[in-house]
Amino acid sequence: MDFEDNGQGLLVPSHKLLVKGQYTGQLIRAGKIIDEWTDDNLVVNEGLDSLLNVQLGAGTQIGTWYLGLFQGNYTPVATDTASVIAANSTEASGYTAGARQPWVQAGASGQSITNTASRASFTFNYVSATSIYGAFLVSTATINGTSGTLFSAARFSTAKSVINLDQLLLTYTFTASSV
C-alpha cells in the first residue's frame, strides 16, 4: 500500500483516506498567554492497532483517555507503547493535579474528534525552570504508569520552558477524511 505525508497528514491515495492528529497548546504565565503552538503527532502502532480492533474487530472500546507531558529531549517512535513512553520520554510529574489529565472529547463531528471545548490543564509546581518537550495520549491516568494503551505522541517543535504556577492548556484533535 502506498502512502505519503503530504504536509496535511498521512494520505493513502489508493484508499482516498487522509488521517491526522495534532496537539495544540497555550502556555500561560501570570494570567497572560506567553506561547501558542500546534504540532503534528505520531499515532503509534499500538494506537493504530487499538483503533482497528475497536472499529473493525472485536476489541473493547477505551472509555477514558489521558494526556501526559514529557520533559526528556525525546522524539517518539512508532514502536513506543504505554509500557515504555513514560521512561523513554522522561514523563513530567511536576504539576499540581498529581495525575495525567483527562482528554474530555466532544463527539466526533466533521470527521474530527477533539477536546477543544474542555482543554486539559496542567499547572506546574517546579522549583526551577523546566523544559517540556512534548505530549502523549494514553489510556491510564497514573503518572509514570506502564499499563494501558498509547495512542499518539508528539515532540513539540520547540521545548517549552515552564516555571512554578505556569499553566499549560492542551488540546488533542484527531481527524480522518476521504479525499
Please provide residue 55's backbone torsions phi and psi, each rounded to the nearest 5 degrees.
Answer: -80, -35
Q: How far apart are CA 67 and CA 29, in angstroms?
A: 21
pLDDT tens track for 159-179: 999 999 999 999 999 998 877
> Against a cut of 0.85, is the pTM above it?
yes
Q: How far apart are CA 167 and CA 160, in angstroms?
A: 11
Which grid coordinates belong to 50? 487499538
Domain boundaries, the chain: 23-173
pLDDT tens track for 57-82: 999 999 999 999 999 999 999 999 99
Reduce the DSSP state of residue 52 to 3 states and report it.
Answer: helix
pLDDT tens track for 6-45: 555 544 455 567 778 999 999 999 999 999 999 999 999 9
- Position 7 scores a pLDDT of 54
What is the DSSP code (8-state) at residue 110?
T
Question: Quick one: how far is CA 175 from the chain centroid?
Answer: 13
Among residues 73, 67, 66, the alpha carbon closest in space to that of 89 is found at 73
How big is the chain by its Cα radius of gyration, in Å? 16
Sign of the CA dihedral with 50 first, then 169, 153, and 150 last = negative
